[in-house]
Amino acid sequence: MASADIIVAVATPPGRGGIGVVRISGLNLQSVFSEIYCGVVPPRYATLRNFVDCNGEALDRGIVLFFPAPYSYTGEDIIELQGHGGPAVLRSLVEECLRRGARVAQPGEFTKRAFLNDKIDLAQAEAVADLIDATTTKAVRCAQRTLRGEFSLAINVLVEELVQQRATIETILNFPEEDIEAQGDDGQYQAISSIEGRLEAVLRASQQGSLLREGAKVVLIGQPNVGKSSLMNRLAGDNVAIVTEIPGTTRDPIRLLLELEGVPIYVVDTAGLRTAQDAIEREGITRAWEEAEDADIAIIVMDCAQLGSEHQYLEEIVRRLPNTLPKLFVYNKVDLVGKAAVIDEEAPPTKIWLSAKTGAGVTLLKTALLEILGWNNVGEGAFMARARHLDAIRHAKNYLLSARENQGRLELVAEDLRRAHESLCNITGEHTADDLLGEIFSRFCIGK
Amino acid sequence: MNCTNEFDVIVIGGGHAGTEAALASARMGKKTLLLTHSLETLGQMSCNPSIGGIGKGHLVKEIDALGGAMACATDDAGIQFRILNRSKGHAVRATRAQADRVLYRQAIRGRLENQTSLFLFQQAVDDFVIEGGRVTGVVTQLGLRYSARAVVLTTGTFLNGLVHVGESSYQAGRAGDPPALKLAQRLRDLKMGVGRLKTGTPPRIDGRSVDYSQLKSQPGDNPEPVFSFMSGPGNHPRQVPCWISSTNERTHDIIRDGITRSPLYNGAITATGPRYCPSIEDKITRFANKTSHQIFLEPEGLTTNEVYPNGISTSLPYDVQIDLVRSIAGLENAVLTRPGYAIEYDYFDPQGLNASLETKLIRGLFFAGQVNGTTGYEEAAAQGLLAGVNAALLASERDAWSPQRSEAYIGVLVDDLITRGVTEPYRMFTSRAEYRLQLREDNADLRLTEIGRRLGLVDDARWKCFERKREAVAREQERLKTTWVNPKIQEEVMRVIGDPIEREYSLFDLLRRHTVRYLDLMTLPGAGAPIVDDAVIEQVEIQAKYFGYIERQRDEIARQEQAETMHLPADIDYSLLRGLSIEAQQKLNKLKPETLGQASRISGITPATISLLLVHLKRGFRGIRQRSA
């Protein structure tokens, strides 16, 4: 089954690597995409080329591989761009491809195409099916987690406003005989323009990296001297934080980039959350709470040798953390009380008994982290899932622009708004024609 | 064996669905029997005396393109015609007519009586004959047995109908007709998914008691629009206006005082009514800050004084109805001729149907119209026609046919019903159609006449007329695409287009511009002679205006159509499919979609699920079919 679409994705695992591979699949690829690598290359030879953007500015230098259809993994033309592995380079390469008409591949889509083009043996079918299903749900979860709160909030607000505008226009188009207050006036086009502008702002912010990041953020929280910094050192494998016996040693949050199974994870060690003695330490504690605000997960560390006295602090900490923030309780120093390292996943939050000092139970913690973050067996990075989201926003923005250009021709405006909304629904979830009617009937008194 | 009791197709019910079903089947040459409890009410309009409107007018034109009766009958019976949204684009324009009830019934009955291969008989049906999972006939009230290869059920609100007026209620099919209780029980016994819906009508008024001097008149359009591609304004009877009044604070006080006696508010009615057609008591409760609601006084016909006050559907007690009507300007001395009422009735979950409208449970049994949870004459007629066609196709052992969502509103209607079911009486709106820009009233003939001809629905006269128009449009489009305008005649171009051109353009490209009109364009030197047929000019012009948008949707439609041709076997047990979520398994097992396209539109079925199905489809669903093939 031939497909008209050209798809693109980063083929190497998420995170930083020595090289990063961007893979494109579709029909007649070289005619358009060879611009990126400065001219057609021969099939199946590794060719060293400059990768450039649409203005001819160099992005990277690397190897191009071209596999013409049908002798390729998917059975279609395939181009592989092997560049240097940084996320920024890969992102700009993918963006160049999108600009030239490709779309971001769905999870497992290369494999699916391979299967549909008889490139994969039938016995592998179920594995393909499993892969598609597993990657889709997890990748979506992943993308949502790595897009900061402000991002999804902004999009939800914009979709809400877009639905309002659609409801107004559809009311005018579908109920011309009702005496309703719906007007297709200038205010409406201003509203559309405002949505468009804010989508643009989201896109700009995402390119500057202020709203988006690769990987997840984990904060370590707990009373002084329960072993947060030791735990961080254990996770990192070398001495990053200063570990001493004096309570209140960690005054500034310390950041550490870990890679767990190739997944980038920022761990932030915070100042112990006790009532501070001096100004510097108080400042450190304030920062600790701020770090918790936009974290993806909070690890609350306790000393299991002193559990009795920690209980009231624990309640206080949990109360002050955002409700929606997933939490993990770690009971450190099992070695001191002669307990074994175990994990209790019966009810949230997950509880882990371990020893940062001996390393017992640290693997349990790593696995639990990946599980909660939705990174287990994802198969594609948050980067690709996120690229899909940004692509959807870009499309939506273009449809809104077209809607404004069609001002006064309501049925065309309605069509543009429908398409813009459809694009954004890739981020926020399904919205049906019936949902839109519900919006209309709740706002306008229809019923001649 | 009595051969007069043997038919190819039997249609139960003589409303808008039943009559179109019977006519379609008979047009296709099948020996067809229409059974109704009363021949007098064939083609009866039980609710308001109007046909068409946004979305609905589109359906009527499609029915017409497929040779159906509704458009022609409305042209014969319509006493006020208007184009709604005339100031907006063609895709959202729609024709609406007030019809004379008596003339409409006559127009329909005349067509039924003169249709070859069609037999009419007055008998209520009590039972089906079902053998080996297939319907083979029906049994009437008197015990008469008729056999057929296919049966179309179109019993409207008659199944377990329950009429409410204030605190009293009684069983009825609609006010004045008996309900079909035995048939309803029989269908419940067959384990069809049954639900309850509600709808209502306003009280009727004696026109002689209306003070028209206080009302605003709403005349029809001039020139008079027509519904059928085969009609002209000459088909219309005398035209009359509608009248507009409105409710006021006093009306709302009266309703508020009486509301505890409304069955909608005292708990007597439990079924769901339509959100877009609320009762007046609903309107003033839900939009309490609105101090006035419009009322349209629609004449019921040329030979009756009865008037239909559109906008005050109610089931309040009769004494409250009188007071509320008389509080309205122009109706101070109104005399009521019938009380308004609400009716609750059974419908069958349309998710139990195939796209052909055949039930998944019983082969050869088709459901059409209000029994499927829809509302409106047009929605009923459209389904009736489709069910009639498919009953006839089944009787001829031919493959079923159903239009795609990109082909017709009929396709949108049926697909919505079978993939999503209903939660309120389903009415067509253009916002339901993702391909609205190409599903227009003006091109319903171009979209469907050829298919109708192939199915045997379109007669020679219509076909000839259609072919002439289609060829003329194509020829003119070709001419416009190959006639070039040179920038050398810039002055002339500026006059016609308002902007200079920087290079050569074809006439077609210039016509695509929003503000350029065909007849103006033809005044350019070298543009050639304009065509004279207005219908052809209109079509050429509209197609040029929407050209860009429709081209853009072409890929999307092609991809969608590919999914529509991928058939999912009916005997798959989805719970054995690895990788499907429990929710997806349950939904797919319940609905058993016929194609991948249908599956993709079931709520909660994700693109990932579709990819999975595609993979399994490719390997023939080995090991997970219920019976081995």
Interface of A with B in 391-420 (CB under 8 A): 409-412, 414-415, 418
Is 90 exceeded by the pLDDT of residue A83?
Answer: no
Residues of B in contact with A122 (CB under 8 A): 619
> Which pLDDT score is estimated for B330?
96
Is 50 exceeded by the pLDDT of residue A1?
Answer: no
Mean pLDDT of chain A: 78
> Which pLDDT score is estimated for A278?
66
- Judged by CB atoms closer than 8 Å, whether chains meet at A418 and B434 is answered as yes
Nearest CA in chain B to A122: B619
Picking from B611, B614, B617 by the largest number of A CB atoms within 10 A of its own CB, the best residue to mutate is B611
> Which pLDDT score is estimated for A181?
63
* B394/B387 Cα distance (integer angstroms): 10
* Nearest-CA distance B185 → chain A (Å): 31
- C-beta of residue A131 within 8 angstroms of C-beta of residue A276: no
More confident residue, A18 or B145: B145
Nearest CA in chain A to B608: A133
Interface of B with A in 89-128 (CB under 8 A): 89, 91-92
Q: How confident is the model at residue A135 (pLDDT cuts 50, 70, 90)?
A: low
Low-confidence ranges of chain B (pLDDT < 50): 1-2, 628-629
Residues of A in contact with B579 (CB under 8 A): 126, 129-130, 132-134
> Which pLDDT score is estimated for A187?
82
> Which pLDDT score is estimated for B47?
84
> Which pLDDT score is estimated for A247?
47
Picking from A111, A133, A165 by the largest number of B CB atoms within 10 A of its own CB, the best residue to mutate is A133
* Nearest-CA distance A445 → chain B (Å): 7
Nearest CA in chain B to A121: B619
DSSP 3-state of A19: strand
> Which pLDDT score is estimated for A375?
54
Instruction: Name the residue facing A409 among B85, B89, B612 (closest C-beta).
Output: B89
What is the tens place of the pLDDT at every residue in A395-443? 999 999 999 999 889 999 999 999 999 999 877 777 777 888 888 877 7
Query: Does A447 reach chain B within 8 Å, measured CB to CB?
Result: yes
What is the tens place of the pLDDT at every residue in B336-371? 999 999 989 889 999 999 999 999 999 999 999 999
- Judged by CB atoms closer than 8 Å, whether chains meet at B293 and A170 is answered as no
More confident residue, B299 or A227: B299
Instruction: Name the residue facing B311 among A173, A414, A448 (closest C-beta).
Output: A448
> Which pLDDT score is estimated for A378?
45
Interface of B with A in 227-286 (CB under 8 A): 275-278, 282-283, 286
Q: Are strands A327-332 and A350-353 parallel, antiparallel or unpaired?
A: parallel
Is 60 exceeded by the pLDDT of residue A53?
Answer: yes
CB-CB neighbours of A153 under 10 Å: 11
**Over residues A274-298, mean pLDDT:** 70
What is the tens place of the pLDDT at every residue in B122-161? 999 999 999 999 999 999 999 999 999 999 999 988 888 8
Interface of B with A in 459-488 (CB under 8 A): none
Instruction: Name the residue facing B89 among A116, A410, A432 (closest C-beta).
Output: A410
DSSP at B331: -
What is the tens place of the pLDDT at every residue in B402-413? 999 999 999 999
Q: Give one word for B13, left, alpha or beta, with left for phi > 0 and alpha for psi -120 to 50.
A: left
Any idea which residue has 């000019």 for tokens? B537
- Rg of chain B taking only CA atoms, in angstroms: 26
- Judged by CB atoms closer than 8 Å, whether chains meet at A116 and B614 is answered as yes
- Judged by CB atoms closer than 8 Å, whether chains meet at B578 and A106 is answered as no
Sort B337 into a burial class: Cβ within 10 Å, 0-12 / 13-18 / 19+: middle
Q: How confident is the model at residue A241 (pLDDT cuts 50, 70, 90)?
A: very low
